[in-house]
Amino acid sequence: MSQIEKKLSGIELRGPTKPFGKLIKNWVDASNIFDKRLTGDYDDFIDYKKDDVLALVKPAKEFVAEIPDNREFPSEILFVFISSLLLLTQNQNPMKLLMIYCNKFAFKPTTKTLEEFEDVTEGKTFENALVAFIHAEEKDEEDIKGVETKMVKNLKWAAKKNNTRFVILHSFAHLAETKANPRFTKELFDRAETRMKNAGYNCGQTPFGYFLDLEVQAPGVSQARIFKGF
């Protein structure tokens, strides 16, 4: 089931709302553009061919043709239309991603909290890097590939906006109520790091399973701080 189908599954459409329900069903059947839109930003649309978009035109015309001749939109249809738009703009998946472009970012390990991960004693300093503060939640474990893809696309987008090819992944499990298993989170980081490197980015991670002393120097400019939930 696609994301748009999941979001609309709880909406019961009856009577004069049927045309709108039919339109939504036709959109779901005709295209996955909405799902793609949720995986990143407008850059994702470059992956679409003309036929993918034209497939949406016919069901939209059929919907318009079913609006009463007096051209007044029945209040029930209008209510469902607005409510559905609100539902569609809400993020379903729980991954939280806070990206901060830093003129300088430094860390130093202080206390190890998870013994199963690699020992690190030395700190590091980076300049002109996008630092991603990442909180993976329990529900993310259901689809590591999907979460990985969305995270990588957002990292690339934010790095491009800040004119940098340097990205640091930092576990920051303080942005939501639930947490993914640490092993899942570390695997997700490793997979994302590999994909970023394969795409030509200089990507690394802060020590996993540690409390760290952090130094963050971020400029007060547009796009230097970006939050995404997906």
pLDDT single digits (tens) 54-72: 666 666 666 656 655 545 5
Paired tokens of 101: 């472009």
Residues 108 and 183 in one domain: yes
Examine the fold and report which residue of 53, 88, 123 is the final residue of a domain before the chain moves on.
88
pLDDT value of residue 88? 45
Domain match, 212 and 127 both: yes
Give tens-digit pLDDT for 196-226. 999 999 999 999 999 999 999 999 988 899 9
Out of 57, 88, 119, a domain closes at: 88
Dist CA 72 CA 68 (whole Å): 7
Write out residues in the chain with pLDDT < 70, as ranges: 1-93
Tell me: do 76 and 100 sit in the same domain: no
> Which range of residues forms the domain containing residue 113?
96-229
Quick one: pLDDT at residue 78?
47
Model pLDDT, residue 155: 97
Cα–Cα distances in Å, from 40 out to 102, 110, 163? 22, 35, 18
Predicted confidence at residue 14, as pLDDT, reads 45
Residues 84 and 100 in one domain: no
The pair of structure tokens assigned to 43 is: 């850059």
- pLDDT at residue 15, as a whole number: 44
SS3 per residue for the chain = CCHHHHHHCCCCCCHHHHHHHHHHHHHHHHCCHHHHHHCCCHHHHHHCCHHHHHCCHHHHHHHHHCCCCCCCCCHHHHHHHHHHHHHHCCCCCCCEEEEEEEEEEEEEEEEECCCCCCCCCCCEEEEEEEEEEEECCHHHHHCHHHHHHHHHHHHHHHHHHCCCCEEEEEECCCCCCCCCCHHHHHHHHHHHHHHHHHCCCEEEECCCCEEEEEEEECCCCCCCEEEEEC
Q: Alpha-carbon distance 180 to 183, whole Å?
A: 8
For residue 125, the domain's CATH number is 3.50.80.10
The tally of domains found in the chain comes to: 2
pTM summary value: 0.62
- Cβ neighbours, 10 Å, residue 130: 28
Q: Which two tokens stand for residue 17?
A: 């709302």
Distant-in-sequence, close-in-space partners of 197: CB < 8 Å, separation ≥ 6 = 203
Q: How many residues does the chain have?
A: 230
Last residue of a domain, one of 63, 88, 113: 88
